[in-house]
Structure 1
């Protein structure tokens, strides 16, 4: 394997955990990103069940993602990136999600949050952030959450800002070198988006991520105590006077990567239970069947699940093409076009979530009693899908989709700030 052993030095890590994710080599970017992701997935599969049982963070897996260059896939070649497509990135997440939900979720969140500098400005004024990221192969965390109205920055007398407060659900930030930070501007009429290292003084990472699924996808609480934001760490915003709502296309990119995890977990469950039914005969198997896979009832049940999963996969691929095309002409998109993309990607995420939640618990119908053994860990697929889907309740998504498709109205994200004048 070709490798470059000349990684640039970086500042001291926040702690040994982050230091352990740093690349020891830098592989040349692969010609086939999805094939490389599939190779990494085979590596990750070796101890995936043990890590799930123990709730261990995927430290070595993050290091391998950084070494492979996969973390820089979506960045343009002109800025040092891999020049890959959204299809490359989304299918890379899907392949890893087949065997390792936590690592896949961290990579998916990394992809659409590492795009924040490019989403906030279409004129390359944030290019330096991208160049540094590709040079050092950063994993990006995120401290976003638009709903926190108490997370307000203050002006610093020497320029920039300071921030104090608490942010929950910060996916990837505890394992990342760098993280986006969204806060309300001191004037309380817009947001500021910044990018800071996770070893910044005043940051406290609370080890409180302990859900039923995605147990290694650290999304713990972060406490800010007078954290300094330097002027050059504030992202340039080019979409009007100030950011008053979500980033353009940010939610649509997010929906693609959520869906990649949902579909990957579903396909992974089916592939694994297929191997399981081919390797033995469960109790209650149809008379004359040598292995469970010969049972006509199991064949029919598996066939139904497989068809449903393929439908989700096809929807996924079609929607990716729509978003990729929109990204390529992002400077020309109208509000109506962005609205249609938002509805389409929200619909995909809803369908992928529903498919995962329907199929992953039903694989026990195929595995039988032996499949419920702790060591088998067949429940990991449902637990991961259930945890991720709970972040954005499906019923709310369906209501939004129904409202706008019934009335033919545009889906417009309103300003988060009221004009008091």
Structure 2
């Protein structure tokens, strides 16, 4: 029996192996990897990189084919993010957040809402930036003041990726009159929108992070208000609560891809390293070929196992999320809790592995004292630090422990 999408449409099976995406993504990743070091050190706005994503068709990957999209599934999207992140984790994060936002009207709205919104996104090949970041029980930083035809948006918000190059911003904001939480679409080219790029970032320099000021930006009810958002966890359905899990899982794929990319690059460096005098080798016996040093082999073996373990945990969580998305509104509270725990495990494992691996590789390649220089491996370490700082693993481990020990369900949230 074919699976159903959230809007009740039949979803034909589209195995990744039967699509052109592996080849397309591999070629794009190779292209990004070629000048990754130079681009990262230059730290320019990723306008050119976004065009590469757009030309490859990756921005429309999750949009249904009937609305001019590519019609792929979540497993494919996660695989794409992972491979792109191995070449450039900033692009991986930017793409991950775009995919999560592209599905926001499906998670929070109706089939009609998605049917009105998705064709515009696909036909214009928009890159989406923003966030649905309204902590439950707290006043929002973005307010909507009612007018005759809709609202005007005011306030300021900071974003981790995408806003300096986004074609449209998707935002969660609060109506000043009623307190309702609304999902709105904003054109960053409007004169009332002022985007300030984040400067002097330690890592993820090309992710397009920044802060945005909104000064009386018109938001029409007909065209720019997408749907209402749940006020708190008590009004959030299990299916809507998949939205933050989808983003968190996508970011776990970014961390995993970053780890795999760092290992591949470091391996090539170690394989071609020049001979080291016997007195300075770690093992003291394999001067002709540093890659034969037993301690170096041991270290790489441990790091490879860490990456393999992370991949297994992430794949398990990815399949669980894909199955939950396919259930749509029929998703139960308990099923959602199981998926949430698996996603938390993926986050915790990939985050810790990324930081440990990239730190250790600097030591193994003698690049630890040559940040922003040398082989360029330092960028993986800096990117891992910034990426994992957004979601401390201790929070996820606490949720996993509470679920395991007490059977507690992770709280619902609409925070994306």
Q: TM-score per shorter chain, which class? A: 0.7 to 0.9
Distance 1:109 1:282, change over 3 A: farther
1:110 aligns with 2:98: yes
- Out of 301, 304, 316, the position equivalent to 2:302 is 304
- The worse-fitting range, judged by mean Cα deviation, of 93-102 and 188-197 is 188-197
Counterparts of 2:120 and 2:388, CA distance in 1: 33
- Give 1:274's aligned residue: 267
Change (3 A) 1:310 1:339: same
Per the alignment, residue 320 of structure 1 pairs with: 318
1:375 aligns to what?
A: 374
Q: Deviations over 1:28-48 (max 9, x none)?
A: xx9322331111011111221
Structure 1 contact 140–172 (Cα < 8 Å) conserved: yes
Structure 2: unaligned runs, 5 residues or longer? 1-17
Structure 1 residues 101-180: aligned runs within 5 Å: 101-147=89-135, 149-169=139-159, 171-180=161-170
Instruction: Provide the C-alpha distance between the structure 2 equivalents of 1:299 and 1:112, rounded to a whole number of angstroms.
Output: 39
1:385 is matched with which residue?
A: 384
The reply to whether residue 45 of structure 1 matches residue 33 of structure 2 is: yes
Counterpart of 2:84?
96
- Picking from 206, 211, 216, the partner of 2:201 is 211
For residues 282-309 of structure 1, give each alpha carbon's deviation from its aligned partner in whole angstroms, at most 9, with x where no partner exists: 6433423533222221111101100110
Distance 1:383 1:390 in 2: 11
Q: Is residue 200 of structure 1 aligned with residue 199 of structure 2?
A: no
Partner of 2:70: 82
Q: Deviations over 1:309-345 (max 9, x none)?
A: 0111111112111111111111201122222212221
The structural deviation recorded for 1:236 is 2.8
Tell me the C-alpha RMSD between the 2 structures.
2.5
Partner of 1:236: 227
Would you say the 8 A contact 1:347–1:401 is kept in 2? Answer: yes
TM-score, normalising length: structure 1 = 0.85
Unaligned runs of 5+ in 1: 1-29, 417-421
Give the distance between the partners of 1:327 and 1:31, measured in 2 at CA: 21
SS of residue paired to 1:259: helix
Q: Which has the higher contact order (CA 8 A, sep 6+)?
A: 2
TM-score (norm 2): 0.86
Contact map agreement 1:122 1:238 (CA 8 A) in 2: no
- Assess if the C-alpha contact under 8 Å between 1:346 and 1:397 holds in 2: yes
Runs of 4+, deviation exceeding 4 Å: 237-247
Greater mean deviation of Cα atoms: 78-87 or 30-39: 30-39
Q: Deviations over 1:191-230 (max 9, x none)?
A: 1001122112311111334320001112211001111111
Residues paired across the two proteins, number: 387
Does the 8 Å CA contact 1:190/1:242 hold for their aligned counterparts?
no
Look up the SS of the partner of 2:345 in the other structure: helix
Deviation at 1:186, TM superposition (A): 2.6
Q: 1:54-74, CA deviations, whole angstroms, 9 ceiling, x for partnerless residues?
A: 222222111011111111111
Residues 333, 101 of structure 1: CA spacing in aligned structure 2 closer, same or farther, 3 A cutoff? same
Q: Taking structure 1 as reference, are residues 256 and 415 closer, same or farther at Cα in structure 2, changes over 3 Å only?
A: closer
Q: Report the alpha carbon displacement of residue 368 of structure 1 after superposing the two structures with TM.
A: 2.6
* Structure 2 CA distance for partners of 1:154 and 1:315, relative to 1, 3 Å: closer
Higher mean C-alpha displacement, 341-350 vs 181-190:
181-190
Other structure's SS at 1:182 match: strand
Q: Distance in 2 between matches of 1:241 and 1:307?
A: 40
Report if the CA contact (8 A) 1:102-1:216 is conserved. Answer: yes
Residues 393 and 188 of structure 1: is their aligned pair in 2 closer, same or farther, counting only changes over 3 Å? farther
Tell me what 1:254 maps to: 247
